[in-house]
Chain A
Amino acid sequence: MPTSLNNFYHIFTLTIALFSAPLSLTAKESETPVDLKTEIKEYISHHLKDAYDFSLFSYSNDQGKHIYVGIPLPVILWDNGFHFFSSTKLNHGQDVVPSGDYYYKLEHSKIYRTDAAGTIDYDKSHHPTNLIPLDFSITKAVVSMLLIAFLMFFLFKGLAKSYSVNSRLPEGVGRFFEPIVLYIRDDIARPNIGEKKYRNYMGFLLTVFFFIWFLNMLGLTPLGVNVTGNIAVTFGLSMLTFLITNLTGTKDYWLHIFDPLGASMKWYAKIPLYIILIPIEVLGIFIKPFSLLIRLYANMQAGHIVLMSLIGLMFIFKSWLGSPLSFGLAFAISIIELLVALLQAYIFTMLSALYFGFAAEEH
């Protein structure tokens, strides 16, 4: 990667230094032979994807060689047996890693099985045709999730403990989180699920809300992890909503799907309607969680794209007028993203509660 982009990453890492950056950049700009716009585009798309190491920043040394500074993470592959090696061996796609009987290479944020030389074959539409091994690597996103999981566990365990110590009152940071817990109980769970059953779903709703919110917030830090903007993560979350909804579904819930008109019509009159209605209702079971997964994914993805594009604009404008302008815009969008982070967590929780409400419904 050329120097300008390394600076770009550096700046993204240290957002505070944004103002001084364009100046140092303009001096070096003339040396870069590659089109800046394509680079920024590639950089953004690279950032949006998961990574095999937890990179903090990178720079070019005097010889023009890239030095990446970050935490290496373990790569775990299943390819006729487990393959286990450190992500430093991949060397950001530059080296071929021999492991067992096979060779692996990183290409466009994915690990492929290659030959010893590391050749990658492409089909007509420029997709690699190499075999992709089953990948259970501890990636950047996994580490971020573990981090958030630990944080949440100690945070809320502390809150729970403070009640017994402090005569049923929260302490410290718990004073901030208790109202949120109560809000989820009183304004999300209770009205949607009902007084009788809401307690059964509280654990999931609280966990999913704070999990998404904290991960969204982590995505706004200069570490730049994009966990909730990852389709596998949102799929996993909405999958659980789907499973809980349908596994706890009452008789009335299933009756509503397979007999939506109930006793209001004779059975022979219902048949032609049900040919259309039942497939729609059955489809609805899947569409509901699907909308959840797409909404969260698309919102977080879009937020990151907009934010990084605005920061990237600074390098394209290269002027005293344009760069502060795009900085101002990026700053404003960051503020909005803070709101979006909370809002998306709220929407996911709210809609999950709504679906649980359908499932728990009893006439």
Chain B
Amino acid sequence: MEKLIGEFSLGLFFWQSLIFIGLFLLLKKFAWTPILDAVNERETIIKDALASAEAARNEMESLQSDNKRILKEARAEKEALLKEARATRSELINMAKEEAKVEAQKILEQAQKVIQNEKQAALNELRDQVGSIAMDIAGKVLHKELESNEKQLQLVEQLLKEINLK
């Protein structure tokens, strides 16, 4: 200990303190503060860049999922539309079929009616013609056989009743 104290030089201590404190103050002003500031700033920039890259990636991911969702929705809509169209088509077809059937029925009925009428008319005409022909024939026949008109008519009426065309 005595040796240590003997070795201690006040002058050296004085200069050492002076140089060190001077160096400390100079370096603090011109080196450490700018260095630490620059490093901090750099670290903040890196951190921000990383964060924004992360955010961009998240955004892209959400965009992608959005796209997927939209696509899915569109597909579903298309499907629904198609289904609807198909349903409409078959409905239309059914409706047309029904209508056609009704129409056909109507036409058929009308045709039957016309046919009936025509038949009736034809029958009536035929009946008249057959009647007149028969009358002619009968007249001619009866002209010979029957002298009186009354007898002739009586016979015709009777005959007509027998010939029932149906």
Contact = CB atoms under 8 A, between A and B. Distances in A.
A231 B36 CA distance: 32
A202 B34 CA distance: 12
A98 to B, nearest CB: 21
A23 B114 CA distance: 153
Contacts of B16: 141-142, 145, 232-233, 236-237
Nearest to A75: B11
B17 A203 contact: no
Contacts of A153: 23, 26-27, 30-31
A149 interface: yes
B70 interface: no
Interface residues of A, number: 46
Most buried by A among B8, B31, B34, B38: B31
Interface residues of B, number: 33
A50 interface: yes
Contact of A142 (B15, B22, B23): B15
A43 to B, nearest CB: 17
Contacts of A145: 15-16, 19-20
Contact of A235 (B13, B26, B42): B13
A152 B28 CA distance: 12
Nearest to A301: B7
B11 A139 contact: yes
B32 A206 contact: yes
Give the dominant DSSP class at A's interface. Answer: helix
Given A149-B19, A152-B27, A153-B30, A168 B38 contact: yes
Interface string B1-26: 00010011111111111011111101
Interface in A60-117: 76
Interface string B26-51: 11101111111011011001000000
A163 interface: yes
B11 A135 contact: yes
B7 A49 contact: yes
A48 to B, nearest CB: 9
Contacts of A136: 11, 14-15
A240 B11 CA distance: 17
Contacts of A141: 12, 16
Interface string A221-236: 0000000001111011
A230 B16 CA distance: 11
Contacts of A137: 11
A244 to B, nearest CB: 10
Contacts of A231: 4, 7-8
B34 A163 contact: yes
A76 B26 CA distance: 26
A335 interface: no
A283 B147 CA distance: 182
Interface stretch (A12-20, A154-162, A251-259): A154-162
A240 B22 CA distance: 13
B23 A149 contact: yes
Interface of A: 49-50, 76, 134-139, 141-142, 145-146, 149, 152-153, 156-157, 159-161, 163-164, 168-169, 178, 181-182, 185, 199, 202-204, 206-208, 211, 230-233, 235-237, 239-240
13 contacts: A141-B12, A142-B15, A153-B30, A160-B38, A163-B39, A163-B42, A168-B41, A181-B36, A203-B28, A207-B28, A211-B23, A231-B4, A236-B16
